[in-house]
Each structure stands twice: as C-alpha cells, then as structure tokens.
A and B are shown apart, each in its own frame.
Chain A
Amino acid sequence: MQPKTIIEKIWDTHAVMSEKGKPNLMFIDLHMVHEVTSPQAFEGLRLAGRKVRRPDLTFATMDHNVPTQNRMSITDSIAKKQMETLANNCEEFGIDIADLNSPNNGIVHIIGPQMGLTQPGKTIVCGDSHTSTHGAFGALAFGIGTSEVEHVLATQTIWQSKPKTMEVRVNGRLNPGATAKDIILSIIAKHGVDFGTGHVLEFTGEAIRGLTMEERMTICNMSIEAGAKAGLISPDQVTIDYLKGREKVPDGEAFEKLAQEWRDTASDEGAVYDAVVEMDSEEIEPMVTWGTNPSQGIGIHKQIPDPANAESDHDRRAIQQSLDYMDLKPGMKMTEVEIQHVFIGSCTNSRISDLRAAAKIAEGRKVADGVRALVVPGSQAVKMQAESEGLDKVFLEAGFEWRESGCSMCLSMNPDFVPEGERCASTSNRNFEGRQGKGARTHLVSPAMAAAAAVAGRFVDIRDLKKPSLQ
C-alpha cells in the first residue's frame, strides 16, 4: 500500500461524501463550544427549528469572558449575559458544559486534552482558531466560524476542501534555555505568518519527538499563526501514556485496542507531503517578538531589524508599521526593552509544566518595581495541581498575582488588560495591535522568559539569570 500521512488517513476515514472537485462532507468526532462564538449559532438553530444532531459529541465550557478574580460575581453585564446564554443553550439542547462551578472548567483547549476528550485520529472543531492545539495528539483539529458552528451542531459534519500537507521537520536537539515556544516562534520568524496557508502542518523530527505532550500542544497551538489550517504531531508512546487514565478515556482492554488504533494513525514511513520545511534546533534561541505579528520575533540577543534592509516593499511597510506601533527603533536590542506587565497564561502556555518553569525562575526572586505580573492557570484543574505543589506560594512571595483560570489577558475580554502605550511580556500567542488592550504593546515569550522579564523589569536571557546582578 502507498504510505500515507496521518492527515490523509484521518481525512479518508472521515469523509462522509467525497465528490471529485468539490469540498468533502467531513464527519466531526468532537465539537467544543464556548460562550463567545456560539450564541448566534444556537440562535440560528432555534430560528430554523433545528436540533443538535449529536449532543454526545459536543462539549461546552466558559473561558473567554471569565474574570480571574471574584469569578462568581461578574460585573460586566454583557459578558454575564453571554455566559448565561451558553448555559441556557446547553440546557435546551442537551449539551454537557463545564460551567464556572465545574472542576473541569477552563480554557477550551486546555480542558479537552486534560479530560481525555482529545484523542488521536479524531476530527475536532471549535469556534476558535487555536483549536489546532488538539493536533498535538494526532487529531485533525481546526478552528471554525460561527456559521460553521451552527452547521456542525445541526449536522455533525462540515464541508471542507482537502487541504495540502506540509511536513515541518525540526532537526537535532534543543539548546539549553530554548523551549517549545521558542521552536514555534523561530519557525514562524523564519518562514513567515502565512507559509502554512492552505496546508495542514505535521511537525516531525528529533526535536519534536523529544517533547512532552504539553510542549507539543504549545507548538500545535501556534500553527494557526503560520496561517495553517491545522497543525499536528503523529501519536507515539508519549501520547498514549499521557491519555491513559484520563476521565474520557476507556481503560482495560478497550484502552489497549484504542492505543493500537492510535499507533496506526501515525504517518507511515516514506509518506510524501506536498511541501516540506525544515528548521535546525541549533538555530533556536530564547525568542522575543518585537512587532505586531508572531513572525516578527528574534533571538534575545539579536537586534531589531531595520525596515531599510527589507527584501520587498511589502516587508518594509510591515516592519515600519510594527515599529511605529511598538515604539521601537531599528538596531535596538531586546535586552534594552523595559516592560511594565507580565502575563503568564493562555492556551499556549498555561499548563502545569509552564507554571513550573515560570515558578523556577520566580523562586527566591522579586518582581521588579513598577511591574505587574499575572499568573493565570489554564484551567481550574491546573490551578489546583499548582497549588498542591505550592507554586502559588512561590509566585505570591515573589510578588506575582495568582489568579483563577481563563483566557484573561490573552485577549482581554475579561477585566484584565494592558493600559495604552504600556508593554507586556506575554506567554500567549498573538501580539496583534490592541490584542491585550487598546494601544497595548505585546511581546511574546516562553513562560521562563516571561518570569525572568518580571524580575528584571526588562527582557533578559534566562541563560544569564545566574549572574549576580540579576538575582
């Protein structure tokens, strides 16, 4: 048999209808729903007198609007209405929901994996672009818009044109200090914000195989920032071990059978991709973005680029536009840039290993004067786990704020935001203009780099942190 990629395998087993030259009708195994992109979809169903076809394959949570302090007394009446609307819709249509009282509550892309809903070989959609996170398990997972949410609710299917496949191979082993976040920021910095357009990326190579599931999620999470439809990683023993014993994963013989199916989903040796890009781990350093899209990132010791040296007119304009917004000058070093805020959280980097990495830096140090640093766990379960390990105390003693879970300052729809003109070192995935607040300036970094920036008051190389001047 012709060797196949995991992408083709999942595609072929999920096509309900495939007519040549037309989009295929794809069956969806898991549909995750949250409060922001669903109300208009449920409204549409109601208006047309339609039902949810498979409530059993649908799961809802509240995350985007949730306050991270006093989460039960929501003062923003519109946010409150949106959450109540979701709860009512779930009740009306018979959908399970992890509401604010549920121990499973958290960011949609954190709780799917955590509960074991996310599994290899599944097709997964959610009205949120970072659905690609679930690809870390070898699932074909992508974000959809509200019309598509309504379509999936009504039919459990979606029309999709077969995407092209792209292998993103990360060779070699990571340098000390470099993390999964630095891998993906480096790939995007090297190949641009749209190199993945029209493709599903499969991350392969020694560096990827060596990552834990949580690190793999960070990588797949940001596939969308490369313009890709989705990003995934073929399942292996690491995937299987992670899923074993999780709430929604069967045990005993059923598990063994499932695990074998999962192994079979992995890309075959010799499978051919439509495109291949490569990255050498040696090139990867701790990264910081200086601009207003995730490809505008550089190694911590590099200089901010000069638009005059840009290759095309289009690049020159993009660089200038970003520098103006970020109030930075060409030639500056990132280590000269001072910050006023730090955000450790979001579906990119708010899992327990992220918090541990940040806590390791925070331990025994103090947040610099004039810096506000927030730690926002990705889910209530992550929060409880961190507290059982005493990480909350480490953060609090160092002067960080320890919050309840949610999306928080990743997109600042809740009360957490960065004031105009101020700078934030953030572990989230988007440094777009205004993302963290009107006029806010966002720099994307790994959790350890964010914690280091908090204690230094500016960007520093975590590898230099042992130097006494920074202690």
Chain B
Amino acid sequence: MEPIIVHEGNTAVLPRVNVDTDQIIPKQFLKRVERTGFGQFLFFDWRFLADGTPDPSFELNKPEAEEASVLLADHNFGCGSSREHAPWALQDYGFRVIIAPSFADIFYNNCFKNGILTIRLPEKQVYELMDNGKEEYYKLKVDLEHQTIQDSKGFEAGFEIDPYWKEMLLKGWDEISLTLQYADHIDAYEKQRGI
C-alpha cells in the first residue's frame, strides 16, 4: 500500500448526514470479483441522471470539487453495510483523506485497511472547513506524522489517531504480513485451547 505521510489536496464538500455505504457504492456494482475499478460507480445514484449524464446539482460534480482528494463529510459517514467496496470506490475515485464529525465504525476501520486516512474533527471545525470548501481549489494539507490539518488561510487543527493505524499508514504496511510474524502465538493459543 502507498504510505501517507503528508497529504495535500483539493477538497470536496458533501454536507449530507448519515451517508450510507449503499449510497457510496450502490449494490448493483457489488457483483464484480475484482478489487479495482470501482471509482466510476462512486455515489452512482446521486452522481448521474437517469440518462447517464452527470447530475450538475450533485456536490462532487460541482467545479469546486474537481480533482478532490480530501472529502469533507458530515455526521455518521459510511453507516450501513460493511461493504469494503465503499473505501475501494472512494480511493479509486481519488480520495486519500476523509474528514467528518463522526464515522460509522466498520467503515472507519475499512478505510485504514485500504490506505485512506479518516479523521474525526469537532463538528464546528468540519463546518468551518465545509464553508471554506465552497470556493474552488480550496486545499488542505494533512500531516499525519504531526497529526495536523492546515489550509493557506490560517486554519490549523490537530487530530487524534490510533497509534497502530498511524504506523500502518505511515509505513504503508499490509496487515496480514504483520500478523503472520506472530504465527507462533496463534499456534500456542490453539494448542492451549485444544482447538
């Protein structure tokens, strides 16, 4: 996986609460057996009109969201189904960082496992960023190492992150190889329980 140390990118604003994974990647696209290529289906039902053309009223289709890699989202983002196709689609579309006041648990973890940095900030700060993000080419700089977020206008905030996930993202590690280093612990556990 590609490590994240400092990420700087354009923002997209999605001021909707309780955005569920069914919206992030509608179920008709879950039948693929590959892991890549889901970006084209991201937010499909919101993004496209019935005739297949982009819906200009949808937030990600607005000019200010062009080439965004930082998503500013609202409360309980990623709720619903545990489908990992949701982070695959967000990543394949180009997002590396998602900032919201709260996330659904499974989605939050799934993002880390796929190299997306999810950041919880207080509602007030997120709404401030969302306001700023209404202008075109509003950029944020996210420094994972120092756990800070900055823009060019003087916004600066720190954020919390589990040290485990931080290290995984900084190094771009794959979790299975990490765990397999502890194979003797697993052997010993199985033996002790006789299973």
Residue positions of A touching B, CB distance < 8 A: 16-17, 21-23, 25, 27, 29, 36-37, 39-40, 43-44, 48, 50, 53, 57, 65, 76, 78-79, 81-82, 85, 127-129, 143-148, 150-151, 154-157, 159, 161, 193-194, 197-198, 227, 229, 293, 314, 317-318, 321, 411-413, 430, 432-435, 438
Contact = CB atoms under 8 A, between A and B. Distances in A.
Given A22-B164, A145-B109, A435 B186 contact: no
B76 interface: yes
B27 to A, nearest CB: 5
B185 interface: yes
- Sorted nearest first, the 7 A-B pairs with minimum C-beta distance are A145-B84, A39-B33, A143-B82, A129-B82, A145-B110, A146-B84, A147-B113
B124 interface: no
B176 A43 contact: no
30 contacts: A21-B163, A22-B164, A27-B189, A37-B82, A40-B33, A65-B31, A78-B32, A143-B106, A144-B82, A145-B82, A145-B106, A145-B109, A145-B110, A146-B84, A147-B84, A147-B110, A147-B175, A148-B109, A151-B176, A155-B176, A157-B186, A159-B179, A194-B76, A198-B105, A227-B76, A318-B18, A321-B17, A413-B31, A432-B23, A433-B45
Contacts of B190: 27, 156
B14 interface: no
Interface residues of B, number: 51
A16 B30 contact: no
Given A154-B180, A434-B26, A147 B186 contact: no
Contacts of A39: 33
Contact of B34 (A40, A159, A314): A40
A434 B23 contact: yes
B112 to A, nearest CB: 9
B102 interface: yes
Contact of A127 (B16, B27, B82, B109): B82
B9 interface: no
A17 B80 contact: no
A194 B102 contact: yes
B88 to A, nearest CB: 8
Given A145-B84, A147-B114, A155-B179, A434 B22 contact: yes
Interface in B138-195: 162-164, 175-176, 179-180, 182-183, 185-186, 189-190, 193, 195
Nearest to A36: B30
A178 B6 CA distance: 54
Contacts of A22: 163-164
A185 to B, nearest CB: 16
A435 B80 CA distance: 11
Given A17-B182, A161-B162, A129 B80 contact: yes
Given A22-B163, A318-B18, A229 B35 contact: no
A433 B83 CA distance: 16
B79 A227 contact: yes
B175 A151 contact: yes
Given A16-B189, A143-B106, A156-B186, A193 B180 contact: no
B18 A193 contact: yes
A197 B105 contact: yes
B180 A413 contact: no
B104 interface: yes
Contacts of A321: 16-17
Contact of B30 (A81, A156, A413): A413
Interface string B5-48: 00000000000111010110011101111110000000001000
A129 B163 contact: no
A247 to B, nearest CB: 19
A150 B180 CA distance: 13
A21 B162 CA distance: 9
Given A413-B30, A433-B23, A318 B17 contact: yes
B84 A434 contact: no
Contacts of A44: 35
A161 B163 CA distance: 12
Contacts of A229: 105
Interface in B104-137: 104-106, 109-110, 113-114, 123
A265 to B, nearest CB: 14
Given A16-B189, A23-B164, A227 B105 contact: yes
Contact of A432 (B80, B164, B182): B80
A277 B155 CA distance: 38
Contacts of B186: 16, 25, 27, 53, 155-157
Nearest to A192: B76
Given A82-B31, A154-B179, 19 more contacts: A16-B185, A25-B182, A27-B189, A36-B30, A79-B31, A82-B33, A143-B106, A145-B84, A145-B109, A145-B113, A146-B85, A155-B186, A159-B175, A194-B75, A197-B102, A227-B79, A317-B16, A430-B22, A430-B81
A411 to B, nearest CB: 5
Given A16-B182, A147-B110, A432-B22, A37 B75 contact: no
B123 to A, nearest CB: 8
Contact of A128 (B74, B82, B113): B82
Given A227-B76, A438-B45, A50 B176 contact: yes
A37 B33 contact: no
